[in-house]
Structure formats: structure tokens, C-alpha cells
Amino acid sequence: MAIKVRIPRGKKGRFHLSDPVIRAGVATFIIICTLALGVFAFFYVKYQKLIDQRMSGPVFANASKIYATPRVLTPGYKTTREEVAAQLRRAGYSEVSEKGESKLGTYQVVSKGIQIRPGPESFHSPENALIKFEGDAVQGISSIDLCGSALGTLSHE
């Protein structure tokens, strides 16, 4: 005689992906996660551009230089045009040939001298100046107007 044994199969779990309620819940979860990721990416890129723009220039303002002792050039002072140009760059001035002009001011190396034009945010005198060099010393300093003609001159003779 043949005996047939049947083992009852119970439900493996309560939740099946074939259940429409479970499918709707999973779809809603995926949509919410996609939207949240999109919003995060939008704001990440927005603020990344803002930070990159602000970090492209000087990170710290040159406000501390207001309280520093200013460098005084007088006729006969031993220095070169290159040293004065380097000091102006460190102070925040930009060279005229550069594309972006500094709000502190600009300078231009000319034959035997440097012409300085303070900008609207300069800490010092708003007058343009021309510093003339002879060898490794300052020969003279003259104040110039916007047209380039000398207004007053200090010279070493």
C-alpha cells in the first residue's frame, strides 16, 4: 500500500512584494528618496559655487594692515622698483596689466619708476604718485593728477 505524505506549506512571511500595498509603499519610498537626493544635490552645487567664488580671492581681508606701521619711502631710501612692487602686491594692490583691478589700488612699473593709483578702498592718501628710482635708491616722489602731469615733487639732490 502506498502512502502519500503531504507536508503543509505555511506562509513564509507576512509581506510579499506581490501585495499591492507593499508595492505602493516601496514605490513611495523610492520617489521620496529620489526627491530628497535631488534637493540635496541642488543646494550642494549652489553653495559649492558660492564658496568657490569667495575662496578664489583673498581669503582673509587686509584689515590688519590698517593697524600696521606704514612703510615710509623718502628720497634717498635704499630700495629697488621690484621690492616696492612686491610690497604693493602684498598690500593688496594689483598691477595695471592684470585683468582684475584691486579695489585697494593699482600700480604700473614705468621707465625708472613706479606709478601708483590708490583705489576707492585704499587706507592711505587718495592722490596718485610717481616714485622715481636711480640705481637702488629712491630718487624722488611726485604727486600726479589723472592726466599724468606732476603736481608736487620731493627729490633727493
User: Is 109 contained in some domain?
Assistant: yes
The verdict on 99 and 119 lying in the same domain is yes
User: Is 10 contained in some domain?
Assistant: no
Q: Which of 77, 50, 88 shows the shortest CA–CA distance to 133?
A: 77
User: Is 102 contained in some domain?
Assistant: yes
What integer pLDDT is reported at residue 35 of this predicted model?
98
Domain that holds residue 127: 63-155
What integer pLDDT is reported at residue 146 of this predicted model?
56
User: Is 144 contained in some domain?
Assistant: yes
**Tens-digit pLDDT profile for the chain (157 aa)?**
788 888 777 556 677 778 889 999 999 999 999 999 999 999 999 999 999 988 887 666 555 556 667 778 889 899 989 999 988 888 788 888 766 677 788 899 888 899 988 888 776 667 888 999 998 899 998 887 655 555 455 555 5
Distances (CA, A) of 90 to 14, 42, 60, 105, 141: 72, 37, 12, 12, 21
The verdict on 91 and 45 lying in the same domain is no
The verdict on 111 and 149 lying in the same domain is yes
- Per the DSSP assignment, residues forming a β-bridge with 140 are 132, 155
The number of folded domains in the chain is 2
User: Is 5 contained in some domain?
Assistant: no
The three cell numbers locating residue 106:
593699482
Query: Mapping DSSP to helix (H, G, I), strand (E, B) and coil, where does residue 141 land?
Result: strand
What CATH number has the domain bearing residue 118? 3.30.2060.10
The verdict on 121 and 136 lying in the same domain is yes
